A = this chain, B = another copy of it.
Amino acid sequence: MTRAASRKNPTRIQRAKTEAILGAALEVFATEGFRGATLDQIAEAAGISKPNLLYYFASKEDVHGMLLARLLDTWLEPLRRLDPAGDPQAEIGAYVRRKLRMSRDYPRESRLFAGEILQGAPRIGTMIRGPLRALVDEKAQVIRGWARDGLIAPVDPYHLIFSIWAVTQHYADFDVQIRAVLGSDDEARFSEAERFLTHFYARALAP
């Protein structure tokens, strides 16, 4: 088998190197963008040579694609967990907090995703128009139901979801700008943001 990374039963080395490469690539792609990143950069960050990297992945696109595929699996998880049977206000508040924590704990993933969308989603367009849209449609119906039942204020569920994505991801994607204004205390920044957003959505959605 030529392509080591795609084996069914990867060896210890394969698993370790593949992981090292993806970790390095995430870092580099997130800060440099797809075109800006170079294989030499990624290889060096992973502690291997460029040909060795290409022994595990067929191409630069392959590495990038693998990262995106993995990311998308988990990216929508917070929304998936929005429970139609739960208390509307609590559910939405919890969703906001889950999403904010993803920005705090996975900022590189957030920036990778943001970069991809900014450039027109050339590699994940089908996924966006497929599973992502389907999930949003589903949850929008749930929220619409809550509004109809008077459990939350009557708002457009789609724009509500967009606003949650925007305000939470902003803390990862525009990190540099926020740092520049607030100073660098990550801990404080995120707990302030959590307090602000929790209160904000609670007030805005109170029936």
A residues in contact (CB < 8 Å) with B: 31-36, 111, 114-115, 117-121, 125, 128-129, 132-133, 136-137, 153, 155-156, 158-160, 162-163, 165-167, 169-171, 173-174, 176-178, 180-182, 192-193, 195-197, 199-201, 203-204, 206
Contacts and interface: CB of A to CB of B under 8 A. Distances in A.
Stoichiometry, as copies per complex, reads 2
Contacts of A158: 181-182, 192
A113 to B, nearest CB: 9
A178 B162 contact: yes
A192 B159 contact: yes
A156 B192 CA distance: 8
B162 A119 contact: no
B203 A153 contact: yes
A119 B31 contact: yes
17 contacts: A31-B120, A33-B33, A33-B119, A35-B35, A111-B118, A118-B173, A132-B181, A155-B200, A156-B195, A158-B182, A163-B196, A163-B200, A166-B166, A166-B167, A166-B170, A201-B204, A203-B204
Contacts of A170: 162-163, 165-166
Contacts of A132: 177, 180-181
Contacts of A118: 33, 111, 114-115, 118, 173-174
